[in-house]
Amino acid sequence: MNVAATTGDTEHEEHARVDAPDPAPRRRGGGRIALAVSVFGELLITAGLVLGLFVVYSLWWTNVVADRHADRQGDKVRDNWAQQDSGPGALDTKDGIGFLHVPAMKNGEVLVEKGTSSKVLNEGVAGYYTDPFKAVLPASGKAGNFTLAAHRDGHGAKFHNIDKLEEGDPIVFETKDDWYVYKVYAVLPETSKYNVEVLGQIPKESGKKKAGRYITLTTCTPVYTSRYRYVVWGELERVEKVDADRTPPKELS
């Protein structure tokens, strides 16, 4: 056996082991980076879950809550109507003044209440304007503009399908004593949310130049934003008296 060679090899290996750089610091640095990436990833997942839950709450659960409230309020209105033999039931603003029916929107009947604040509209109803121009209610029999607003997404989303309305489509408003049948004659797909002229008693932006009996539906656009306003105008075509069975007009049959 060549002891010298063996001994030399052993010493060389020992020196190699002693002189070799320690990789431990690189492992510790890599571990910190991996930990940071892992924590950041978990935060992103958590944020995604929170955002997802918020979307579910905004677009689904608020609809559920609002619809339940609107149904209860609607039942109160109809109960009040049933108990009144006569009187100003059609103008009663305590629980609501009537129901909007728009077949093209496929949203069922929509209770209409006084005001367009978030507090009112968040309850799954449509509200009539009191400012900057006061809506002229149909039952008053006066010329003017019956101006309404409702949410397009969340909180009942009663005007979600407003873009389905076209010229000639019916809009029917039901009160205790009458059915008011309007026909759509103009649509404005987008305008500034500060454009209050669309609510004027004579809605000149719709092409009208003289007083009449109009209805105006407004909501936010595009969907899921509140950047602009979508506007639909209708004009009263006729009024039908409510019979004992509350038979709806042919437009709702």
- Say how far apart CA 147 and CA 158 lie, in whole Å: 15
Residue 220 designated active-site: yes
CB-count burial class (<10 Å; 0-12, 13-18, 19+) for 238? exposed
State yes or no: is 151 an active-site residue.
yes
Buried b (16+ CB within 10 A) or exposed e, 86-116: eeebbebeebbbbbbbbebbebebbbbbbbb
In the numeric block, which tokens belong to residue 219?
């909501």
Of 101, 155, 160, 220, the active-site residue reads 220
- Cα separation, 170 vs 184, in Å, equals 6
Show Cβ contacts of residue 201 under 8 Å, excluding neighbours closer than 6 positions: 133, 136, 143, 144, 145, 211
Active site residue: 101, 151, 155, 160, which one? 151
Structure tokens at 102: 């728009």
Phi, psi of 202 (to 5 degrees): -115, 100
Where in the sequence numbering do the catalytic residues fall?
A: 151, 220
